[in-house]
């Protein structure tokens, strides 16, 4: 019994009725939407955007007073919702960026999920995140991994709150319909030791014999700021130029620390502008220290400590610091690379600046858009 075409009649309908018949049968004609679907260069819905530390922090603090951490409201997280993404709580189509606030002596209960998360500590001290039994201390500038399907809880033993940046692949895993989640049977998991993942990684290029890497992520779960800073300084001395960049990788494979996004640190030397580049895929930048500005598709984004901004796919981007600046970033580059979709290029000339981003205007516009949708 094979496909038969001979008996089929043609429906004798006019164009309008034809279009209605398509809709009624869950069909869409390509010819009406081809140019939107297949633009000549990426036409991202992700918008270049910036969130000011001074706008976000007071709200995070207020959340600390209004919201308690209990089952069902596990985490006190403010997601950076890109206004281009039609109300979705995502920072780009692939990346989730958020600020998480953990009050003094609070704990966020243990769970695990297939989305991988990283925590980049902005301010606070005396906190640890337990990852599969390993209590990883968190200090400003540290990067902590809570990768795919690893149990994790957060614990603040100090009298001060901590605020960190959360980076997740949640939008990508939503698109891939691959999210699993499980609460730990206990409120907090037992702690087997402290900073155990760092054992045996005391020297570059030295690998403990007989160990192998977890399949999807780095065995090293804490990347201390001291090591990062020392490497940035060494690169600065060796390479010079307006910017040096490093990636946090799995020391046993050289691959990305988590499979689904890159974790990077960029140091900008003051007074020089980087060349203008564009690349496929989005990045979320977190200003750890220093100040400056980034030009994204001709629009100038001014930033200082704690500010966060996002660059869309194929946007023209350059950076310039007033004061030496360290920018932590996450990017979906590893996904694009493994699928052979990554492209990058440096523009021959630096882009011109045609305007300046004003967050308030953006905020207003978003509020309006949201209002329209409800």
Q: Which residues contact 142 (CB under 8 A, 6 or more apart)?
A: 120, 121, 222, 223, 224, 225
Residue nearer to a second copy on the CB measure, 251 or 295: 251
User: Judged by CB under 8 A, does residue 125 bind a second copy?
Assistant: no
Spatial separation of the C-alpha atoms in residues 274 and 243, rounded to whole Å: 7
Tell whether residue 248 is a contact of a second copy (CB under 8 A).
Answer: yes
- For the segment 43-72, give every residue that binds a second copy (CB under 8 A): 43-46, 49, 51, 53-59, 61-63, 65-67, 72
Interacting span for a second copy (CB under 8 A) from 7-15, 125-133, 150-158, 346-354:
7-15
Which of 159, 190, 210, 349 forms a contact with a second copy (CB under 8 A)?
Answer: 210
Minimum distance between the CB of residue 54 and a second copy, rounded to whole angstroms? 8
Say how far apart CA 125 and CA 138 lie, in whole Å: 7
CA distances from 366 to 186, 315, 369 (A): 40, 21, 5
The rounded distance, in Å, linking the Cα atoms of 178 and 186 is 25
Residue 269 engages a second copy in binding (rule: CB under 8 A): no
CA distance 351 to 319: 11
| Rama region for 80: left / alpha / beta (φ>0; ψ in -120 to 50; rest) | beta
Please select the residue that binds a second copy; options are 83, 126, 242, 298, rule is CB under 8 A.
83
C-alpha 320 chain-centroid distance: 22
How far apart are alpha carbons 132 and 129 in whole angstroms?
Answer: 10
Q: Does 238 bind a second copy (CB under 8 A)?
A: yes
Indicate the residue among 283 and 352 with the shorter CB distance to a second copy. Answer: 283
User: Does 303 participate in binding a second copy (rule CB under 8 A)?
Assistant: no
User: For a second copy, which residue of 77, 127, 296, 330 counts as binding (CB under 8 A)?
Assistant: 77
C-alpha span between 15 and 88 (Å, rounded): 36
339 binds a second copy (CB under 8 A): yes
Contact residue for a second copy among 313, 318, 319, 328 (CB under 8 A): 313
Q: How far is the CB of 115 from a second copy (least distance, A)?
A: 7
Choices 9-17, 130-138, 150-158, 349-357 (CB under 8 A): range interacting with a second copy: 9-17
Is 306 one of the binding residues for a second copy (CB under 8 A)?
A: yes
- Token output for 263: 């974790």
Our CA angle for 278, 283, 286, nearest 5°, is: 125
The footprint of a second copy on residues 94-123 (CB under 8 A) is: 94, 98, 113-115, 122-123
Give 258 or 352: the residue with its C-beta nearer to a second copy.
Answer: 258
| Spatial separation of the C-alpha atoms in residues 344 and 331, rounded to whole Å | 13
In the complex, least distance from residue 308 CB atom to a second copy, rounded to whole angstroms: 11
- Which lies closer to a second copy via its Cβ, residue 347 or residue 352? 347
Q: How far is the CB of 345 from a second copy (least distance, A)?
A: 12
Q: Which of 129, 150, 250, 294 binds a second copy (CB under 8 A)?
A: 250
Among 108, 127, 148, 268, binds a second copy (CB under 8 A): 148
Render the burial of 191-214: b for 16+ CB within 10 Å, e for the rest. eeeeebbbeebeeeeeeeeeeeee
């Amino acid at each position: 019994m094979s496909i038969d075409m001979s008996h089929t009649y043609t429906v004798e309908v006019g164009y309008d009725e034809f279009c209605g018949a398509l809709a009624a049968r869950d069909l869409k004609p390509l010819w009406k939407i081809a140019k939107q679907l297949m633009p000549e260069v990426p036409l991202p819905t992700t918008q270049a955007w910036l969130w000011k530390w001074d706008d976000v922090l007071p709200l995070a603090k207020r959340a600390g007073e209004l919201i308690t951490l209990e089952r069902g409201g596990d985490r006190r997280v403010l997601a950076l919702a890109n206004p281009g993404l039609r109300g979705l709580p995502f920072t780009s189509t692939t990346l989730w960026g958020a600020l998480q606030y953990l009050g003094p002596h609070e704990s966020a209960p243990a769970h695990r999920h297939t989305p991988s998360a990283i925590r980049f500590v902005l301010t606070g001290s005396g906190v640890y995140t337990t990852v599969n039994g390993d209590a990883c201390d968190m200090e400003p500038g540290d990067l902590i991994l809570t990768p795919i399907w690893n149990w994790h809880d957060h614990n603040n033993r100090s009298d001060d709150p901590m605020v960190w940046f959360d980076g997740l692949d949640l939008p990508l895993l939503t698109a891939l319909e691959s999210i699993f989640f499980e609460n730990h049977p206990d409120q907090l998991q037992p702690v087997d030791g402290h900073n155990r993942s760092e054992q045996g990684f005391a020297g570059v290029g030295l690998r403990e014999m007989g160990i192998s890497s977890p399949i999807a992520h780095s065995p090293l779960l804490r990347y201390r700021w001291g090591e990062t800073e020392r490497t940035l300084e060494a690169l600065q001395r060796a390479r010079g130029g307006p910017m040096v960049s490093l990636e946090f990788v799995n020391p046993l494979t050289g691959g990305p620390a988590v499979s689904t996004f890159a974790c990077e640190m960029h140091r900008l030397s003051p007074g020089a502008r980087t060349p203008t580049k564009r690349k496929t895929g989005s990045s979320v930048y977190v200003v750890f220290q220093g100040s400056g500005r980034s030009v994204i598709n001709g629009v100038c984004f001014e930033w200082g400590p704690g500010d966060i901004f996002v660059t869309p796919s194929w946007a023209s981007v350059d950076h310039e610091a007033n004061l030496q600046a360290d920018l932590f970033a996450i990017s979906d580059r590893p996904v694009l690379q493994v699928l052979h979709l990554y492209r990058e290029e440096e523009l021959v000339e630096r882009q011109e600046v045609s305007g300046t981003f004003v967050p308030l205007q953006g905020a207003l516009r978003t509020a309006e858009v949201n209002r329209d949708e409800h």
